[in-house]
Structure 1
């Protein structure tokens, strides 16, 4: 029995080595490409919810009135279609898009990249857009909505070109980048860095992290502004023109420019907090 087992092991190793060599030399490619699309009429949709499990998700503007959902991946497992599915259901003017893994235990679901869902939406003002992630990266570009809410358990998030009343983010692990976002900001993150970069600041911004740095940059600051920056373990800095300090310590800054104005409240338990012109 031992001889049979050893022989089987040697054959397996030789076969695997051969496949790897053929792959490296371009003679054999074990990956297959999955490229699926669904299109629905989005002319009456005013609220969108995207829920994803183990996917990268992008929400970007599209052409016309259609909402297009694009599932893409390059995988070894040829039963890829049986392991992932995407569904869309409408209720009134609300659309729910759900992408999930149906067989989380499958070992051979390996790919060059994570499975990706690209959602293209008509360019218009939505009442609300929600993105709920279990594991995966989030990218949102040029979106108009009264409220944008993103929840992420694990993965990086990048939001650029948001226009609306309020942007909310809640995350457990991963970095967050927000660029050129209009509206009030509310960011809560357990582990990861937060970077906010805007041409101008005109609304309140509240950012809170447990472990990670907070950096906020603006090309220009309003004539009236309130600052409340603090960290328990780290440094705080504020390079804001005409800032009058009410309190200034290594890990605490309270200050004012002019009278009133938006409040920038940035708090980190462990990490540095910085506001500066870019």
Structure 2
């Protein structure tokens, strides 16, 4: 009996897949491609002519710290695919130093590497330091800059003990900003939590979609917006605050015996103030306003379904 043509075709297809799978297994898992090799590269740059540093990497963790020295030391260390040909690349054009971690050969499949890029810079003020990664974490510490910028997709970002106009952007990565100061701080994330602690800026602007916004012991005119994340602000001195959310709760903690005004709005949530001298002026139809008896900085809070709490 003759077999139908579709059965013959199916058998040939299966045989082809088995053959292809065998070759792929031998080429990948039986070769040096998936094995790792230790990476250790070092470069040193004279910092006298450098006022701008730009760093770019993909999955490499990046650390930029200040130290008591005169040179810019760059080190790449860790493990990578043996045939991935990882390269530490630097280029100086005028006063700009570019540092990149490059993959000379793109592999057909993904290899989980573990690389650290460590950059040590002198304790002097730079015009700009900017770091960009995709999934690599970032840690910036002790930096003095006029402008400090970081960007990452899924990597976490930590900035500590640094000065300068600061901009931080992530998609899902967490942000921890501690003991930093300057003219302005701008932090934005889609789902990552943003935490700012013990920081002093003239203005602070924070935005998130579903991530929480947490500000502790901060000073500076503050604008914070989130969609579904909660928003907590703790002030060390009274400044204007604008805090808006859709479904997240909002809490603003003021200094003891602070003088301020409140303008609030909510649809289905509640608004509560617990300062002993606070006087409610209007609490009708979703609106809420009042003051501590004197004119002062305005706390503007608004949410649709979240609850609002203000006071010391």
TM-score normalised by the shorter chain: which range applies?
0.7 to 0.9
Shift of 1:105: 2.7
Query: Relative to structure 1, is the Cα distance of residues 223 and 214 closer, same or farther in structure 2, using a 3 angstrom cutoff?
Result: closer
Report the TM-score when normalising by structure 1: 0.75
Give the SS at the match of 1:43: helix
Alignment correspondent of 1:139: 139
Question: Using a 3 Å threshold, how does the CA distance of structure 1 residues 44 and 140 change in structure 2: closer, same or farther?
Answer: same
The within-5 A match list for 1:1-278 is 32-75=37-80, 77-80=81-84, 82=85, 84-107=86-109, 109-111=111-113, 114-164=114-164, 166-183=165-182, 184-198=184-198, 201-218=200-217, 221=235, 223-241=237-255, 242=258, 243-247=260-264, 249=266, 250=269, 259=296
The structure that has the greater radius of gyration is 2
Aligned-partner SS, 2:49: coil
Q: Is the 8 A contact 1:69 1:119 kept in 2?
A: yes
Counterpart for residue 12 of structure 2? none
Structure 1: where are the runs of 5+ without partners?
A: 17-29
Contact 1:85 1:99 in 2 (8 A): yes
Q: Are the aligned partners of 1:161 and 1:181 in contact in 2 as well (CA < 8 Å)?
A: yes
CA shift for structure 1 position 239? 1.1
8 Å CA contact 1:227, 1:255 repeated in 2: no
Q: CA deviation at 1:88?
A: 1.0
How far the C-alpha of 1:74 sits from its partner, in A, is 2.8
Distance 1:264 1:71 in 2: 47
Structure 2 unaligned spans of 5+? 1-14, 30-34, 220-234, 272-287
Contact 1:178–1:195 under 8 Å retained in 2: yes
**Secondary structure of 1:115's match?**
strand
Contact 2:218 2:236 survives alignment (8 Å): no
Structure 2 CA distance for aligned equivalents of residues 237 and 216 of structure 1 = 10
Q: How many aligned residue pairs are there?
A: 248
* Greater RCO (Cα-Cα under 8 Å, separation 6 or more): 1
Closer/same/farther in 2, CA of residues 66 and 201 from structure 1, 3 Å limit: closer
